[in-house]
Every structure is written in C-alpha cells, then in structure tokens.
Structure 1
C-alpha cells in the first residue's frame, strides 16, 4: 500500500473519530445561535490582534487586553461555546499528536546544518 493510500486511510479515520464527531456536533449547536458565533468571532479577532502585536514585538494595548478578558468572561458562562471550545481543543490536540508522530518518524528531514528544531 502506498504512502498516499495510507494518508487517505488516516483522513477517513480522522473524519470517523469520536473527537471529530463531537467537534462537529458542538460546532453545529454553537452556530445555531448567531450571538454565540458573533461573540466567539470577536474574541478570536481580539486574540489574533494581541498575538500579532506580541509577534511583532509591539506593546499590547491595555484596553484590548481588558476587552479580551471581558469577552472571555462572557464565553466562560456560555455552555454551548464552552462545549465547542473543548471539542475543538480535543480534536486539534489529536491532530497535533499525529503531526508530532509523523515528524518524529522522519526527524532527519528536519536536520539542516546540524540543527534540528525537533530536538532543540
């Protein structure tokens, strides 16, 4: 069986996994309420702004951090959004674990000039 066939098998397994099914169910439930979706989108936009400022070495606006915290407080009280975020976390953690397994199996591919970011 070719590597590509195995990749397609893995893709089918991922789509059939409990983690993915729970993610889709929670996503659908959360998206039924447009207010939930709007709040989550606003939170992620502000999170992105903070992360970009940090990556660029810029000082993060204090008001932005306050807004982010306020939105987080609203999110934390919302069961549908919490369920979605937890399901999303579980699925992305599984994908990350799989990526790590694959990367470790070909770790010499990451070695350039004696530096291996997988090990350092």
Structure 2
C-alpha cells in the first residue's frame, strides 16, 4: 500500500469523524441564514483585526476588545452561530493535532520562527 493510498484512507476516516460531521452540519445551517452568515463574517473581521493588532502592536486595543465582547454576547445568544463557532474550534484542534503528527514524522522543525520571539 502506498503513502497515497494511506492518505486516502485517512481522508475517508476524517470525513466521518464527529468533529467533521458536526462542523459540516453547523456550516450548512449558517449558509441557510443570511443574518447568521453576516454575524459570522463580522466575527471573522473582528478576529482578524485583533490578530493583526496583536502581531503589529503586541496588544489588542480596548476598542477591539469591546467590539469582541459586544459581538460575543450576540453570538452566544444565537444557537446556530454559537454551535458553528464551537464546531469550528473542535475541528481546528483535530486538524492541528493531525498536522503536528505529520510534521513530527518528518523529523525536522518545519515551524516558521519569528525574530521577535
């Protein structure tokens, strides 16, 4: 069996995991509702803004923190959006674990180093 065959086996296993099924189902619910799509898009923009501030300035501005808190309250009250964000987070953990296992198998440090660290 080749590495490609095994990769296809992994892909077949992955698509049937609880994390992927939950993520896929919650994604479909978001796509069916324009308001929910807008909320998720707004959440992404604020997330990206906070990430950029953290990278560029070393800290997140009070204004961005307040935006995140205000939107967080709205998101947590919306069950479909809240479930989607939780499902996405669970999938991200699974995906990061898989990538780490693959990176470790290569036996090289494949991470990008930041000179500021």
* TM-score over 0.5 for the pair: yes
Q: Aligned residue for 1:110?
A: 109
The whole-number CA distance in structure 2 between the counterparts of 1:2 and 1:110 is 25
Residue deviations 1:64-83 (CA, integer Å, cap 9, x gap): 32122111110011111111
With over 3 angstroms needed to count, the CA separation of the structure-2 counterparts of 1:18 and 1:51, relative to structure 1, is same
Q: Aligned residue for 2:65?
A: 65
The whole-number CA distance in structure 2 between the counterparts of 1:45 and 1:52 is 11
With over 3 angstroms needed to count, the CA separation of the structure-2 counterparts of 1:64 and 1:79, relative to structure 1, is same
Length, aligned pairs only:
110
Q: Aligned residue for 2:14?
A: 14
**Following superposition of structure 1 onto structure 2, how do residues 75-90 of structure 1 map, counting pairs within 5 Å?**
75-90=75-90
Q: Which has the larger radius of gyration?
A: 1
With over 3 angstroms needed to count, the CA separation of the structure-2 counterparts of 1:33 and 1:101, relative to structure 1, is same
Q: Aligned residue for 1:38?
A: 38
**Runs of at least 4 residues of structure 1 off by over 6 A?**
none
| Structure 1 unaligned regions, length at least 5 | 112-120
| Structure 2 unaligned regions, length at least 5 | 111-117
Q: Aligned residue for 1:27?
A: 27
| Cα root mean square deviation, aligned | 1.8
The whole-number CA distance in structure 2 between the counterparts of 1:3 and 1:104 is 16
